[in-house]
Amino acid sequence: MATSGPLVLVVGGTGRTGKSIVTGLLKHGKFRVAVLTRPVSANKPYIKELAAKGVEIRIGDISTDGHAKLVEILQGVDVLISAIYAGLIHDQRKLFAAAKDVNPNVRVVPDDWATYTPRGIRQLADDKYAIHDYIEELGLPHTYIDVGWWMQITVPGKVPGFELDTAWTFYGDGDKKFAVTDLNHIGDFVARIIEDPRTLNQWVYIWEDELTQAEAWATATRVLGSGWLQETVQVSADELLQRATEFRAKYRENPDLTSLYGLAVAEYAYSIHIRGDNNIATAKAAGALDARELYPDIRVSTFEEFLRRVHGKREENS
């Protein structure tokens, strides 16, 4: 790891997105890297691995720590990246307020890392947009980054460690294109984005492939056979809308993490597969910069290449 250069603190640097970001930053070699972890996680083997690579470990909890402690945690930080657990979006306010008090020129990247949805459609996206508004009120230099849908959860249970049960559902006609990214490639883009003056106060969209759900499932069948299809279920657009409406009512009544999770799953599916929001043309029309245009030298994979890679299958033409 670099011993000079800007200091980048990754809050949530031990999570799924965070690990990809930290790996990308270390590979890039131009940053000093620090990771925030909670006291309960400080002795985990992964923290020891990071420390052995020269990553500075800072201990704290953005939910329970007060302003003074957060100010201490943020000392010396030039770039602050948040990739925390999605249930903590609102807690980032304290983090960014403290960041401004430490260094009003710190460049912040809040916890987005998701699909594109316009405002007013998806609760979790609106919660993240409220954080954008707060960052702009504070006047902090920023970059917002979305990544589309992870390739790892695009077809049901087909990637070890990513057995998300909601991925077993085929939504509506499955005919809306949506952008996907290999979770493990996010960090390669992030390392370039945060040093790039063109992305200052901009929104960048990272993506590797774009396909419909019907195409994704056909790809998985080509690569892995069709046995898994028997366990899948179909949900129509009307059923999904009904499900989202019910979860929204529950969330209004009791905005806890369980109701947010149910609502998030239904609204993600509705936005991606029925409305067709999460495609690169729509995101660019809404103002996103295309990471593949900014960094054409970063190698990307198609969804089929990704599936063959994780399952050790040869390319069809090789």
Ligand X SMILES: NC(=O)c1ccc[n+]([C@@H]2O[C@H](COP(=O)([O-])OP(=O)(O)OC[C@H]3O[C@@H](n4cnc5c(N)ncnc54)[C@H](OP(=O)(O)O)[C@@H]3O)[C@@H](O)[C@H]2O)c1
Q: Characterise 139 by phi-psi region: left (phi > 0), alpha (psi -120 to 50), beta (else).
A: left
| Pick 249 or 257: Cβ nearer ligand X | 257
What mask of x and - would describe binding to ligand X in positions 82 to 121, judged by CB under 6 A?
Answer: -xxxx-x----------------------x-xxx------
Pick 89 or 289: Cβ nearer ligand X: 89
**DSSP secondary structure letter of residue 114:** S
Among 150, 207, 247, 306, binds ligand X (CB under 6 A): 150
CA 246 to chain centre: 26
| Listed ranges 15-23, 165-173, 220-228, 271-279: which one lies at the site for ligand X (CB under 6 A) | 15-23
Identify the residue among 8, 9, 18, 117 touching ligand X (CB under 6 A): 18
Between vectors from CA 161 to CA 23 and to CA 56, what angle results, nearest 5°? Answer: 25
Which residue's CB comes closest to ligand X? 15
Sequence letter at residue 277: D
Closer residue to ligand X (CB): 115 or 219: 115
Closer residue to ligand X in complex, CB, 75/226: 75
181: left (phi over 0), alpha (psi -120 to 50) or beta: beta
Question: Judged by CB, which is closer to ligand X: 30, or 284?
Answer: 284
Strands, DSSP E only, in the chain? 7-11, 32-37, 56-59, 79-82, 107-109, 143-146, 149-150, 169-171, 178-181, 202-205, 209-211, 233-235, 289-290
Length of the chain in residues, anyone?
Answer: 318
Does residue 172 belong to the site contacting ligand X (CB under 6 A)? Answer: no
For 235, other C-beta atoms within 10 Å of its C-beta total: 17
d(CA 276, CA 268): 10
Contacting ligand X within 35-64 (CB under 6 A): 36-38, 41, 61-63
For the CB of residue 293, give the shortest distance to ligand X in the complex, in Å. 20
Query: Where does this chain touch ligand X (CB under 6 A) — which range of 7-15, 135-143, 273-281, 290-298?
Result: 7-15
Q: Which of 17, 271, 278, 282 forms a contact with ligand X (CB under 6 A)?
A: 17
**Residues 6 or more apart from 186 whose CB is under 8 A from it?**
17, 20, 21, 24, 113, 147, 206
Residues 194-233 that bind ligand X (CB under 6 A): none
Q: Which CB atom, from 40 or from 233, has the smaller least distance to ligand X?
A: 40
Instruction: Return residues touching ligand X (CB under 6 A).
Output: 11-12, 14-18, 36-38, 41, 61-63, 83-86, 88, 111, 113-115, 147, 149-150, 153
